[in-house]
Amino acid sequence: MAGRHFLFVPGPTNVPDRVLRAMLVAMEDHRSSKFPELTLPLFQDLKKVFKSTDGQVFIFPSSGTGAWEAGFSNTLSPGDKVLASRFGQFSHLWIDMAQRLGLDVQVLEEEWGTGVKPEKIEEILRADKAHAIKGVMAVHNETATGVTSDIGAVRKAIDAANHPALLFVDGVSSIGSLDFRTDEWRVDLAIAGSQKGLMLPAGLGIVCASPRALEASKTAGLKRVFFDFNDMIKANATGYFPYTPALPMLYGLRESLKILFEEKLEHVFERHHVLAGGVRAAVKAWGLKPCATEPKWYSDTVTAIVVPPGINGADVIDAAYRRYNLSLGAGLSQVAGKVFRIGHLGDLNDLMVLGAIGGAEMAMADVGIDVKLGSGVGAAQAHFRAHVMAKEKKPTEQERFAEVHPEGVLND
Ligand code: PLP
């Protein structure tokens, strides 16, 4: 199909042309004296994205799943108890990994569409007088349902219970797109992947470990080899890796970090908030509902949209893909067929998101969902324009009309 493909799955995300070009490099000697000029600044710059000065960043040639495994295997011992909330496919897979590694997981089952409930965590930790629970696991942004949880509140809950458990946070679909405060929230293991907010292909599993997590790694009994923090710490100190690094990915990472810092992180977060607002305005205009049950759970990186009864969300995704060159995210596991997802993270702007909304609208109409063509696009346009006007301090059409006609309301 002519023209660009519209990639709106919540990862992998679009890789900016600048990053693609930066990755087009000849292979080189990763043991040369020059190599650390590339790598040492990467560790420092990644810490800015994690908002950490105290932490140690690890870059593994893996996906986010590998970063999960690195986090557990370096800090815990077989049979250790951890507390985890399950409310979507990724929190489920993370729990599954913990169990398969031999950890004793106490699972808090939450309704899909909601997220971590800090008050429940506090209650359980308060009751755990013997401090048997070694870790609390929280998925910051559940990509399957489009739910963001309040990690600052989880930290407060742990503190209120005066409990020493480590805090493990999955930030795979938030770090680099949403405000993630590793030091302020005292996150002990923050987990990221390269293919979402960092705008790279999949291939790097990135972990930011706190001094407490590093301390725990000295006595942790789970076996690890490939993911051993200690091997990494020794080699990374001088800018090297214990095995062959994924060279083009590191060049790409240098460029993507540059792009994020040029835009400025706070602006990146605001942009994601505005783009998400446009998608949510469209969903409302379609008369549909997000899977996230309340605004407090709404994610600024992905929206899962519930399709009407009798409609299969997979058909919407297929029509969008085949007819309009648009990739939407599938419903996973419990919500398979019940939702489709729009990923709105990474290298995106207003008009790209309007394209995705327009395509989703056509695909929904194609499969028999009663949506008015243009309704979602119009609502998102209004949302984006209101934001632009507010930034430039120009009155919107509605405000200008209201000034002249204080008695009336502008009909759209
Ligand atoms: N955690 C979350 C929240 C995710 O969205 C994903 C992937 O989409 C993962 C973990 C797993 O990461 P990966 O697929 O890079 O292994």
The answer to whether 251 and 25 are in contact (CB under 8 A) is: yes
For residue 65, give the ligand 1 atom closest to its CA: 16
Burial pattern 221-257, b for ≥16 Cβ within 10 A else e, equals: ebebeebbbeebeeebeebbbeeebbbbbbbbbbbbb
Which of the four pLDDT bands, split at 50, 70 and 90, describes residue 376?
very high
The closest of 256, 280, 285 to 344, measured between CA atoms, is 280
- How far, in Å, CA of 375 to CA of 286, rounded? 7
What is the residue with the minimal CA distance to atom 9 of ligand 1?
64
Name the residue of 87, 140, 173 to mutate for ligand 1: max ligand atoms within 8 A of Cβ: 173
The answer to whether 184 and 39 are in contact (CB under 8 A) is: no
Can you give the chain as a three-state secondary structure string? Answer: CCCCCEEECCCCCCCCHHHHHHHCCCCCCCCCCCHHHHHHHHHHHHHHHHCCCCCEEEEECCCHHHHHHHHHHHHCCCCCEEEEEECCHHHHHHHHHHHHCCCEEEEEECCECECCCHHHHHHHHHHCCCCCEEEEEEECEECCCCEECCHHHHHHHHHHCCCCCEEEEECCCCECCECCCCCCCCCCEEEEECCCCCCCCCCCEEEEECHHHHHHHCCCCCCCCCCCHHHHHHHHCCCCCCCCCCHHHHHHHHHHHHHHHHHCHHHHHHHHHHHHHHHHHHHHHCCCEECCCCHHHECCCEEEEECCCCCCHHHHHHHHHHHHCEEEEECCHHHCCCEEEEECCCCCCHHHHHHHHHHHHHHHHHCCCCCCCCHHHHHHHHHHHHHHHHHHCCCCHHHHHHHHCCCCCCCC
**Residue 11 CA, ligand 1 centroid: distance in Å:** 8
Which of the four pLDDT bands, split at 50, 70 and 90, describes residue 334?
very high
Task: Give pLDDT tens digits for 64-111.
Answer: 999 999 999 999 999 999 999 999 999 999 999 999 999 999 999 999
The closest of 350, 382, 317, 371 to 10, measured between CA atoms, is 317
What per-residue confidence (pLDDT) applies to 401?
77
Name the residue of 9, 60, 65, 92 to mutate for ligand 1: max ligand atoms within 8 A of Cβ: 65
For residue 66, give the ligand 1 atom closest to its CA: 16
**Residue 173 CA, ligand 1 centroid: distance in Å:** 7
**Residue 172 CA, ligand 1 centroid: distance in Å:** 6
411 has pLDDT over 70: no
For residue 93, give the ligand 1 atom closest to its CA: 10
**Residue 169 CA, ligand 1 centroid: distance in Å:** 12
**Residue 89 CA, ligand 1 centroid: distance in Å:** 10
Q: What is the largest CA-CA distance in the chain?
A: 74
**Residue 152 CA, ligand 1 centroid: distance in Å:** 21
Confidence (pTM):
0.95
**Residue 406 CA, ligand 1 centroid: distance in Å:** 51
What six digits make up the tokens of 136? 């609390």
Mean pLDDT of 14-35: 98
Mean pLDDT of 142-168: 98
Which of the four pLDDT bands, split at 50, 70 and 90, describes residue 405?
confident
Within 6 A (CB) of ligand 1 lie: 11, 63-65, 90, 139, 143, 170, 172-173, 193, 202
Percent of the chain scored above 90 by pLDDT? 94
What is the residue with the minimal CA distance to atom 12 of ligand 1?
64
Percent of the chain scored above 70 by pLDDT? 99
**Residue 94 CA, ligand 1 centroid: distance in Å:** 9
What six digits make up the tokens of 338? 């019940």
- How far, in Å, CA of 200 to CA of 203, rounded? 8
Q: What crossing angle do the helices spanning 350-366 and 375-392 adopt, rounded to 10°?
A: 160
What per-residue confidence (pLDDT) applies to 1?
86
